[in-house]
Amino acid sequence: MPASTRHHRALAVFVHCLGILAAAPALPAVAPEAATAPRPAAVTPQPAATAPRPVAVTPPPAAPTPSPTAVTPRPTAVTPPAVAVAARAPVAASAEPTPPSAPPAVAPPSRVPASVPPPPVTVAVATESSPAPRYRIHVRNVGNSPLDTTVRQELPSGSSPTAISGGGRSSSSGGSTAEVTWRLRLPAHSTTTVGTALTAAAPGQPLTAPACAFTSDGTRPYDCASATWQAGGAPAAEITEAPPWRRYPVLLAGLGILVLLSALVAWVWRRRRGRRVTAAALSSSATPDGGRGTIYPRAASPSPSRRRRTPPVWLLVGAAVVVLAGVIGTAGWTATRQVSSIDTQKQPTSGAWMGTGVSGPVGVPLRESAFEFTVYRMSCAAGAAGGSGAAPAGGRRCQATVGVRNVTGAEQPWHGQLQRAYLPGGRWVSTDEPATRAANLGRDVFANPVAAGSRAVLPLVFTVDGRDPPRQLELRSGVFSAGVRVQMP
């Protein structure tokens, strides 16, 4: 073989090898560490290695003799292929991101409960032992700087204020109840006490009046508290039992005893009558000799057949009527007790539902399976509610101030779609999450779970249509929780 042909074949093989090495970074790398290691084949520079390109897999046809410019190696010609691989590595990394180093068996991290900072203002409500309802509201500024706050106390339905301290004034809220409002300037680390006296709708009836401290514009709550007034010195209500003759078990027992006595009397009367009939038959058997008897036996005469005596018809009918009445009375009493214990306004509390459904008024803490909910206030306005923007056409927004406490030992998530406001007629709407986020200064209160044992007072916004406010709020922690229902006054 001529020497020129051997040189051409060697050159072609070398160019093929360079093309394969140049195309290696574009292939899926099995071991990134091996791709970055320098290869010894690129240590010896060759004249034809002046332009290593991926398209140089096929040798150029016009390469019988090396050109004069290719004889002198350029400084870039001595660059080993490892440099080219390293230069291409950032491009490949940008095209295909590197997966995380965590093993696939590790579960994705869960959402961390949001740490809610303590409010700068705290509220405590106490009642007085007095004939009329009286409340004391303690508002404390725990911050290092003075601030302005608006304190609102919701009045129970049917009551009105008779005395207001601290320059407060009575007004009507957006709902159907009245409220007492104070605008206070709280110095740093100070406590201000205000109070009210109310008229009781019914003497001795407990009254619950919650109070909340809001920001100076009265939209975002700092803290809320509630207290229930009990009549001072009034004895606790006792449940008086009905007289014995009006109790169903006593009546049924008496009816059963009457039936047994009737049956016993009928049996005794029948026995005694049978004996009298037998005695009369024996005494009336006359003989030809006047009853003296003879030495010859008398011929046997057939005795007349007697019909078996049966109880009177009136006795059988009466006993049957008594037994039937007892059975019907027992069944009716049992069915009435079971039906009266069913509340059609509650959600099912057995089967797949967790916990027991609870209902109550505004200001009373209601506990379900995971949370303790307390609704302190409901206010509806035609325009913006709580800084949440304009209400849609033909509707308005109602803002509920709700206290949420996690009573379990673990973090618990909750969802805005499960919190509902029921309108007159049975219709309901879920929480308006964008408006609720705006009322909470852009914070999504449903994004993170509630930490164990923590408590927060949050505004929830509902967008309703019409002029009637919601009649009931339904709050729950989970899909299968029985939840609580708060009756709006």
With cut-offs at 50, 70 and 90, classify the pLDDT of residue 311: low
Distance of CA 134 to the CA centre of its chain: 34
Q: What is the C-alpha to C-alpha distance for residues 200 and 158, in angstroms, rounded to an integer?
A: 8
Average pLDDT value for residue range 320-328: 80
- Tokens read off for 345: 């306004």
Cα torsion through 428, 434, 437, 442, rounded to 10: -170
- Taking the C-alpha atoms of residue 380 and residue 467, their distance in angstroms, rounded to an integer, is 9
Whether the pLDDT of residue 413 is over 70: the answer is yes
**Is 405:430 a contact under the CB 8 Å cutoff?**
no
User: Measured over all CA atoms, what is the biggest interatomic distance in the chain, rounded to whole angstroms?
Assistant: 179
CA distance 179 to 173: 6
* Per-residue pLDDT reduced to its tens digit, 268-307: 887 777 777 676 666 665 555 555 555 555 555 555 566 6
Residue with tokens 């230069």: 87
CB 113 within 8 A of CB 411: yes
Residue keyed to tokens 């809001």: 214
Position 347 scores a pLDDT of 47
Q: Residues 113, 116, 118, 121: is their CA dihedral positive or negative?
A: negative
Give me the phi and psi of 379, to 5 degrees please. Answer: -130, 130
> If we measure between CA atoms, which residue out of 205, 193, 207 comes closest to residue 134?
207
Q: Is the pLDDT of residue 349 over 80?
A: no
| Res. 433: pLDDT tops 90 | yes
Helix (H) or strand (E) holding 147: strand 147-154
* d(C-alpha 155, C-alpha 170), whole Å: 10
* Encoded tokens for 484: 């609580």
Please answer whether residues 197 and 353 qualify as being in contact, where contact means their C-beta atoms are separated by less than 8 angstroms: no
**Positive or negative, the Cα torsion across 129, 179, 208, 407?**
negative
Which token pair is 86? Answer: 């390293």
Is the pTM for the entire model greater than 0.75? no
Q: What is the mean pLDDT of residues 401-411?
A: 93
Residue pair 448/112 in contact (Cβ under 8 Å)? The answer is yes
CB proximity list for 383: less than 8 A, separation 6 or greater: 390, 391, 396
Q: What is the mean pLDDT of residues 31-36?
A: 44
The string of pLDDT tens digits covering residues 229-278 is 987 644 444 445 566 666 667 777 777 788 778 878 888 887 777 777 67
Report d(CA 152, CA 167) in Å as an integer.
13
Q: Give the pLDDT confidence score for residue 451 in this predicted structure.
A: 92
User: In the numeric block, which tokens belong to residue 301?
Assistant: 């005469």
The structure tokens listed for 352 are 């797949």
Rounded to whole angstroms, how far apart are CA atoms 53 and 75?
Answer: 17
Q: Which residues contact 299 (CB under 8 A, 6 or more apart)?
A: none
Contact 421, 473 (CB under 8 A): yes
* Mean of pLDDT values over 73-96: 40
Name the CA dihedral angle for 77, 83, 89, 91, rounded to a multiple of 10 degrees.
-30
Choice between 217 and 89, residue whose per-residue pLDDT is larger: 217
CB environment 36-67: b (16+ within 10 A), e (fewer): eeeeeebeeebebbbebebebeebeeeeeeee
| Across 50-59, 122-131, 314-323, 339-348, least confident range | 50-59
Per the prediction, the chain carries an average pLDDT of 73
